[in-house]
Structure 1
């Protein structure tokens, strides 16, 4: 049985790491959010978009398994770019909507429920993940991209999330 403190811990961790990521775009213009000032092709708006897309896909998996996840299209070619014509405010709003959806799942789904992973070369065939493991994966994903974003932001104007 899942405790309310476990759900609270998952939510607190998700929100903390999302906060680090959102901090990196504070006060930036749309043009700055599109910049790629490092050796990478990553930009801050693209990282927010990617994390939002990732939360939506893994949320669909947590709620309905691989088939539900696979119904959400992935833009592998430009998924790390800020969409043409989108403002940073648009991207942040999409990010926040995806986060709210994930948070609602943490609050309502059985964290012990498991689904078989989609067939993909990076997953062990026949392996299953619990909703809990999906949420832990999202925390890791968000944290990793918050680190990327911090480097990009520091390259733009010297601002750091910490330090």
Structure 2
């Protein structure tokens, strides 16, 4: 896999190696959708949604950062989903687009930093079964707990889902495809 941004995972074996390899693959597919784009192209909305390629990279990095914070610190590391302020909502909307002064290279570099931290945390976790209570949110079962393993599966799934979104955005932009 060659990309402008690559992540070197710590040396791990077994289940952790499998989880990190799958996450690295999904990150590659997501980053690959931005190959050879200008900042202006990465900021363009190419479908009816508010999504742009640069914004998707920012969003995935933000979500991964929050979930890793959850693994380490519990629900206090997550945004307030139950009672967001108008400022919270505006800040969340800004994560889906490139703001003035932001560059594709900058968001890719920030994503690489998040990925490196995630990989280091996964390598150092004493127990993938350690769990935390989920924060209050309409989409979480009240009182549910997630293990570090389940959080990693969530990050992998979300990264893969957004890589698919990014592939559609890129094909709509200039016809380029990640596969096929």
Matches within 5 A, 1:1-163: 4-70=13-79, 75-109=91-125, 110-163=127-180
**Cα offset for 1:70?**
4.1
**Structure 2 length normalisation: TM-score?**
0.85
Of 60-69 and 89-98, more deviation after overlay is shown by: 60-69
The 2-side partners of 1:134 and 1:76 are apart by 20
Uncovered stretches (5+) of structure 2, i.e. residues with no partner: 1-11, 81-87
The SS at the match of 2:94 is coil
The 1-side partners of 2:138 and 2:78 are apart by 16
The SS at the match of 1:25 is coil
The 1-side partners of 2:30 and 2:122 are apart by 20
The SS at the match of 1:76 is helix
The 2-side partners of 1:84 and 1:145 are apart by 23
* Number of positions where the alignment pairs a residue of Structure 1 with one of Structure 2: 160
The 8 Å contact of residues 38 and 155 in structure 1, kept in 2 or not, is answered as yes
Uncovered stretches (5+) of structure 1, i.e. residues with no partner: none
Of 79-88 and 45-54, more deviation after overlay is shown by: 79-88
The SS at the match of 2:71 is helix
**Structure 1 length normalisation: TM-score?**
0.93
**Cα offset for 1:44?**
0.2
The 1-side partners of 2:94 and 2:103 are apart by 16
**Cα offset for 1:121?**
1.4
